[in-house]
Amino acid sequence: MQLIIQIAISGLLMGGIYSMVSMGLSLIYGVTGIVNFAHGEFLMVAMFLTWGLNSLLGLDPYISVILVVPLMFLIGMLVEKTVIEPIIKAPHSMQIMATAGLSTVLANGALMLMSANYRSVITGYSSKTLNMAGIMFNVPKLVGFFAAVALTVLLALFLKRTYTGRAITATAQDMKAAQLMGINIKRIYLIAFGLGTACVGVAGVVLMPMYYVFPSLGTYFCTTAFVIVVLGGMGNIYGAFVGGLVIGMVEAFSGYLLAPVYKEVVYFVIFIIILIVKPSGILGRSGRAA
């Protein structure tokens, strides 16, 4: 029993990180209708930024969040302005190709600049664990989990309480109606894309003390994030949060019951089953609503 709880807990904690990556993806899709195939690469960029700040300036990863997140927000807006805005009304296939192209550029650009080496940031708390009633909590994972919860709450408050947030929600629900109400759609797209990228920035920061970064890291996280987003319902950020936790648990249990290498096979099976049985995701609401 203790073992089962332990597995569930560590899955849940890892799930928090996945949630953060997926929320950004879901937000971007919900508002702009773009499925961002470069999302995993944004995570890789955020992790390299964290690593760079640590090795150049000696910044602790958790402190570097104040630089990495705004930087990622800017990078997201830059990408939106140059690549996404021109194709926002293009057919789906063109949008997919553009973001897939972007992902190739980022992954291989990183390979050129940083080489294929694995890099990590070693901190005093990297492998620290808390022991509660015989169950171990890995400290960086715990921080990541709470960061995910905090991010979800903040994002929800932002979308519900602020003017810009409500404008974003309105755009996600009905772009044309929002435009008629005087909302500047282009600006909303820009902000939403920046926000989605900033979410990945937070994920990159909390992931850095317990993981390593390498140029092709994006592919793995991107597939996982897609499964989560589909699980939670495309465009639904709360769904992405719940979906992340579910997939984290699935990963932990399939690693224990089968073998860690088969976890992606399990994802795929889940993915296909959801797509066939309930394409709107476990939280139900279909369509694009943030």
Residue 242 beta carbon to another protein: minimum distance, rounded to whole angstroms: 19
Minimum distance of another protein from residue 113's CB (angstroms):
9
Q: Which residues contact 197 (CB under 8 A, 6 or more apart)?
A: 24, 28, 42, 72, 73, 75, 76, 77, 79
E-only strand ranges, 62-214: 119-120, 129-132, 135-138, 212-213
- Shortest CB 269 distance to another protein, Å: 9
Q: Which is nearer to another protein, 146 or 220 (CB)?
A: 220
Whole-number Å distance between alpha carbons of 116 and 214: 6
Nearest to another protein of 140, 235 (CB atom): 235
d(CA 121, CA 208): 6
Q: How far apart are CA 163 and CA 96, in angstroms?
A: 31
Decide whether 166 or 278 has the Cβ nearer to another protein. Answer: 278
Indicate the angle between helix axes 185-207 and 65-79, nearest 10 degrees: 140
Choose between 183 and 228: whose C-beta lies nearer to another protein.
Answer: 228
Least spacing, CB of residue 4 vs another protein, in Å = 25
Q: How far is the CB of 201 from another protein (least distance, A)?
A: 22
CB nearer to another protein: pick between 27 and 202: 27
Q: Report how far residue 63's alpha carbon sits from residue 141's, in angstroms, rounded to the nearest whole number.
A: 16
Alpha carbon distance 218, 134 (integer Å): 35
> Shortest gap between Cβ of 280 and another protein (angstroms)?
11
Site residues, another protein (CB under 8 A): 35, 37, 83, 86-87, 90-94, 96-98, 100-112, 115-116, 215, 219, 223, 226-227, 230, 259, 261-262, 264-265, 267-268, 271-272, 275-276, 279
Give the C-alpha separation, 124 to 131, whole Å.
17
60 vs 85, which CB is nearer to another protein? Answer: 85
